[in-house]
Amino acid sequence: MQALLEEHDEIIALLRDDANYFGELGSRYLSNSDISVLCNNPDYYGKIQFDNNADYLKGRWLHLRILEPENIGNMIVVNATTRNTTAYKEVVAEHTIEGFPKPMFLLRHETIELEGLARKVELNPDFRDGLQDHRLPFEVEEPAIGELFGYNFKGKADRINRQRGFVADLKTTRSLSQFRSNFCNYGYHTQAYIYQQLFGMPVRFYVIDKSNGRLGIYDVSQETLQRAEERVKWGLEKLEMYYGENPAENIEQYYEYLEL
């Protein structure tokens, strides 16, 4: 038992590094993203997806600014008016790696706008309490691993608020109403279910509306978690069906059929 605990702790320590979490070590574990792909686009399962757009970068900047402000300087920000300027293109060329898509970077004026959203969070006592206050070591961007239905899973929490007894997940959206109505479509219910199993705590979503700065806090009902459990099981059925040792279906023949 002691050896298993030590091995678990060693894996967690390695997975704190994104290079390992998204690399070979992390590939040994399923994630919520895998479940979403298996349920929605099983023929894309296992294929590398690059997040290379401005929305992703803005979300990443806000995560660092709110959850890890000491690391905000690690993001490259270009002092250019647009991404069509020579100054911006020179920075892109400098950081382009052969065989990979060209990187994208935030512009200085975009971070100034985002700073206003971060300040709204810091001025809200409930957001500040859930995301920033009473932070202990290994509570931000902390991984967890565990077994669900016979499969190894991983997850990485934005913030484990051990004092309050929940996992806080920070999201950005273009509309709070769309966030609520599309919560399950985005796969956030399965994320909440998987993380609750891995971390042993419920997940609370802290959401920032990028268009107007409105804030929302959302807990997940037991009914929604039950639907999420069934969704996870369905994704695992797809995994066995198309990618198991003896697959029942040929993924090369996959197509979508719906009655509309």
Interior CA angle at 12 toward 192 and 193, to 5°?
10
The three-class DSSP label of residue 162 is coil
Q: What is the pLDDT of residue 256?
A: 84
CA dist., res. 139 & res. 75, Å (int) = 21
- Going by pLDDT thresholds of 50, 70 and 90, the confidence category of residue 98 is confident
pLDDT per residue over 170-219, tens digit each? 999 999 999 999 999 999 999 999 999 999 999 999 999 999 999 999 99
Of 60, 56, 50, 49, nearest to 158 by C-alpha is 60
Q: What is the pLDDT of residue 129?
A: 96
Task: Tell how strand 166-173 and strand 203-209 pair up.
Answer: parallel
pLDDT per residue over 143-160, tens digit each? 999 999 999 999 999 999
Q: Retrieve residue 233's tokens.
A: 């099981």
Rounded to an integer, the average pLDDT of 64-74 is: 93
- Going by pLDDT thresholds of 50, 70 and 90, the confidence category of residue 53 is confident
Q: What is the pLDDT of residue 46?
A: 87
Q: What is the pLDDT of residue 3?
A: 67
Of 68, 65, 168, 184, nearest to 121 by C-alpha is 65
**pTM for the model:** 0.92
> For residue 25, is pLDDT > 70?
yes
- Going by pLDDT thresholds of 50, 70 and 90, the confidence category of residue 80 is very high
Rounded to an integer, the average pLDDT of 100-121 is: 93
Q: 192 phi and psi, to 5 degrees?
A: -60, -40
Specify the amino acid at residue 213.
Answer: G
Domains by residue range for the chain, with CATH: 2-253 (3.90.320.10)
User: Exposed, middle or buried, 174 (CB in 10 Å: 0-12/13-18/19+)?
Assistant: exposed
CA distances from 179 to 16, 67, 127, 184, 191 (A): 28, 21, 17, 9, 14
More confident: 49 or 87: 87
Percent of the chain residues past pLDDT 90, beyond the cut: 84
> For residue 221, is pLDDT > 80?
yes
- Contacts for 48 with CB less than 8 Å, ≥ 6 apart: none
